[in-house]
Each structure stands twice: as C-alpha cells, then as structure tokens.
Amino acid sequence: MDFGFGPEDETFRREARDWLVSHAKPGDDRRTWERTLGSAGWIGLGWGASGYGNRTATLTQQVVWAEEYARSAAPPRSGHIGENLLAPTLIAHGTEEQKSRFLPPIAAGAELWCQGYSEPGAGSDLAGVRTAAVRAGRAYRVTGQKIWTSLAHEADWCFVLARTEPGSVRHHGLTFLLVPMDQPGRIEVRPIRQLTGTSDFNEVFFDGAHAEHVVGGEGNGWRVAMSLLGFERGVSTLAQQIGFAEELGEVVRAAVESGAARDPVVRERLVRQWAELRTMRWNALRTLGGSADPGAPSVAKLLWAGWHQRLGELAVLVRGAAAGVGPVAWSASAPYELDAAQHLFLFSRADTLYGGSDQIQRTIIAERVLGLPREPKGAV
Ligand SMILES: Cc1cc2nc3c(=O)[nH]c(=O)nc-3n(C[C@H](O)[C@H](O)[C@H](O)COP(=O)(O)OP(=O)(O)OC[C@H]3O[C@@H](n4cnc5c(N)ncnc54)[C@H](O)[C@@H]3O)c2cc1C
C-alpha cells in the first residue's frame, strides 16, 4: 500500500484545520458539538458512499481528519459509538429500512448511541450474556442488566446483545437489538463512579423494555456483534497516537521543569516511550489497509494499552510528590480536581481492560497466530 499525503489531502487538511480552529472551543457542550460536526458534514467520513448524509473521504483523508481533530481544541466525541461502531454494522448487516432510519440522524449528530454488550456475568466471556428478549407481536420485551455502558446517560439508543432463544447457551440463540433509551420505568440508567471521580459509564437495567429493530435476523446476534467489534480499529488508532504524542510532550515538559529529566533512568524511560510510539505509528500505517495477520489487532491493543499505562506512571513520577499519587492528596468529594497528569495516571488503569483485556489479547495471539491448544470452552 502506498501511504502518503498528496496535494488533495493537504488541501483537505487545511479545510479541516481551518474549520476546527474556527468552530471548536474547549468546554463546548458535547451534544451541541455533535450537531455542529454533523451539519458541516464531518460525521461518517469512513462509511464510503453510503448515500445517507455523510461526505465521502479517502482513507488518507480520514487519517488527516482524525489527526487534525486530535490536535484541535474540540471536545471528546460522544457520537463515536454510533458513527464508528453501529453505522458500519448497519451498512454491512442492516436492511434498507434500518439504514434510512438510523444512518441520517447519526450523520447529523442528532442521535447518540451506547453499546449494551457487557453484563455482570459476561465481560471477557461475552457469550455468557443473560439479558433476555421475549417476542411480543412484532417487537420484543427486553429484561436484564448491562454494565460498564459508556455514555448510556447521554444516549438516545442502545444496541443490545440479548438472548432470544430460552435455554440456549453460549453464542447460540442471541439477537442484536436496537433499543430506544427513553423508556421511563422500563429502562433505568445508574451511573458508576470511577477512580477519577467522574461517571462516564453506567449500569443499565431493562425491565420489559420495548425493542422492534433486529439487525441481521433473530438468532444471528453473535455474528453481528463480532462484526461490530471488528470496526473498533481503523483510522481512530492514528488519531489516538496523535493524542498520545501530545501527552508524551507534556510529560517531557514536566520532567524538564521538575528536574526529573536529569535522572538517567527517567530519561531512558522517556526515550523508550518516544521510540515505542514511533513504532506503533508505523505499525498502524502498515496494517491500516487491512492486514492478513489475524493477530495484528491484538498486538496493537497490547502495545498501546501498556504504553499508555506506563506513560501515566511516568507522568506522576516526574512530578514527584506534587502529583499526589495517593487519593488522600485529592479532595475527598467527587468530582475530584484532577490535573492532566493525575487524570492520565488514573484513567489509563482501565486501558488494559476495555476493548478486550491484555490476557484475552494474549489468548487470541496464542490460539489464532501461534496455533497453541485452545482454552477449554467457556473459559474465554
Ligand atoms: C472504560 C471502560 C469502558 C467500557 N465501556 C463499555 C461499553 O460501552 N459497553 C460494554 O458493553 N462494555 C464496556 N466496557 C466493559 C469491557 O468490555 C469489560 O470490562 C471487558 O470486556 C472485561 O470484562 P469484565 O470487566 O467483566 O472483566 P472479566 O472478564 O471478569 O475479567 C477480569 C480479569 O480476569 C481476566 N480474565 C478473564 N477471563 C480470562 C481468561 N479466560 N484467561 C485469562 N484471564 C482472564 C481478565 O483479563 C481481567 O484481568 C467498558 C470497560 C471499561 C473499563
């Protein structure tokens, strides 16, 4: 693959940068911001020419947009679950009716989505899903509990993996349902307070919630759910690395300011972070066009998750006692007043869990790449 930025990409970069500079303000309301992005046509760049309200962009232009976004003052996205996970899944598995109902509001930044996969007894072992959906005429009644549901408190819709065949086990008898969140008395969202003092994810309780849209047909939920997870990667990896580079730059600056950079061990660790980030970038570019290596996504996840955690540890190390590594140093009442280094340290503890934990990535590499004997059924 010939990966480079041509003159058209640079024109696109200037357009993206100018637009972001003139529209993005720190602290913008995230829901309003999604609509601003949507009305300017910046949502759905990676959908291809779907005809559902998105503007089309080449792969390199998608990278350019992701890079410029990461460099800008724009707030973190709250529409990314709909844009990057559900939309490609609908394009691949949805009916025409579902595409025309759901894609335009995602492209417009008007409807936000959350992901209802994990349950108290089904995380790494997602096939343990117990949330049940029972037919009621042409619709379903959904009952059960999801957990760690990011942005459920802001979302209009949730895609839910539920068991529609009573008595079925593992990945059989599951169905991928689209559930509207505004169902008082039938859906309850309870925020979970994190180590950082904020609540970005939730427990979601369904008590006979109404759902009428099935993606991919009843009983095919596992196939659709796995296909969606395949969309978790892509150009966003490169944007993530731009963010990582900014964070590393801050840590280096703090190390110089505090004098920690004079310590040869700290210097060595900083240089290692820099070198590993370069390696991750080339690896991401190499695999962007679709790698034949079935272990590539797992290797990438293992690399960045560990890298980011080590950066968080370095961030508080170079600040010394002033960073207040123990929670006692912070105000007791949440949300805590955390600075960037403290937030990085605390939030990055989750990096080795979500999107598939380190142990699960190693199992995938062991089984699918190295050909080692598979774990006993039910273990993963
Ligand atoms: C910040 C964040 C956001 C999230 N957002 C969402 C969301 O929006 N929607 C959603 O559905 N989920 C979400 N999750 C949940 C996430 O997908 C799960 O946390 C993840 O799948 C792990 O599942 P678990 O928490 O149940 O841990 P468990 O599966 O119970 O694992 C606990 C520990 O045991 C290890 N382990 C488990 N099985 C094995 C095995 N077979 N071999 C070796 N080690 C094993 C794991 O690696 C881990 O260290 C989020 C999680 C986080 C941290």
Find tokens 């605390």 and name the residue. Answer: 346
Ligand 1 pocket member 113 (CB < 6 A):
no
Distances (CA, A) of 293 to 241, 247, 290: 21, 30, 9
The answer to whether the CB of 177 falls within 8 A of the CB of 244 is no
Ligand 1 pocket member 150 (CB < 6 A):
yes
Instruction: Give the phi and the psi of residue 323 in degrees, each rounded to 5.
Output: -75, -20
Domains of the chain: 7-107 (1.10.540.10), 113-219 (2.40.110.10), 236-369 (1.20.140.10)
pLDDT of residue 335: 66
- For residue 124, give the 3-state DSSP assignment: coil
Ligand 1 pocket member 366 (CB < 6 A):
no
> What CA–CA distance (Å, rounded) separates 87 from 112?
11
Which atom of ligand 1 approaches the CA of 118 most closely?
Answer: 11
pLDDT of residue 328: 42
Instruction: Return the sign of the alpha-carbon dihedral for residues 185, 82, 74, 286.
Output: positive
- For residue 115, give the 3-state DSSP assignment: strand
Which atom of ligand 1 approaches the CA of 350 most closely?
Answer: 53
Residues 6+ apart with CB under 8 A from 58: 9
Tokens of 259: 């004098």
The residue whose CB lies within 8 Å of the most ligand 1 atoms, and thus the one to mutate among 160, 353, 377, is 353
Instruction: Look at residues 372, 269, 374 and name the one whose alpha carbon lies nearest to residue 316.
Output: 269
Which residues have a catalytic role annotated?
232
Q: Ligand 1 centroid vs 370 CA: distance in angstroms?
A: 23
> What CA–CA distance (Å, rounded) separates 337 from 349?
18
Residue whose CA is closest, atom 32 of ligand 1? 124
Residue whose CA is closest, atom 30 of ligand 1? 123
pLDDT of residue 380: 46
Q: Ligand 1 centroid vs 125 CA: distance in angstroms?
A: 8
Ligand 1 pocket member 357 (CB < 6 A):
yes
User: What's the pTM value of the predicted model, to 2 decimals?
Assistant: 0.93
Which pLDDT tens digits describe the chain residue by residue (380 residues)? 456 789 999 999 999 999 999 999 877 899 999 999 999 999 999 898 888 878 889 988 998 999 899 899 999 999 999 999 999 999 999 999 999 999 999 999 999 999 999 999 999 999 999 999 999 999 999 999 999 999 999 999 999 999 999 999 999 999 999 999 999 999 999 999 988 888 999 999 999 999 999 999 999 999 999 999 888 766 677 778 988 999 999 999 999 999 999 999 999 999 999 999 999 988 887 777 666 678 888 888 999 999 999 999 999 999 886 665 554 455 556 667 788 898 999 999 999 999 999 999 999 999 999 999 998 865 54
Residue whose CA is closest, atom 40 of ligand 1? 380
Give 156-212 pLDDT, tens digit per residue: 999 999 999 999 999 999 999 999 999 999 999 999 998 888 899 999 999 999 999
Ligand 1 pocket member 361 (CB < 6 A):
no
pLDDT of residue 327: 46
Residues, the chain: 380
Ligand 1 pocket member 198 (CB < 6 A):
no
pLDDT of residue 284: 83
Tokens of 14: 């200037």
Tokens of 220: 């095919």
The residue whose CB lies within 8 Å of the most ligand 1 atoms, and thus the one to mutate among 124, 232, 308, 374, is 124
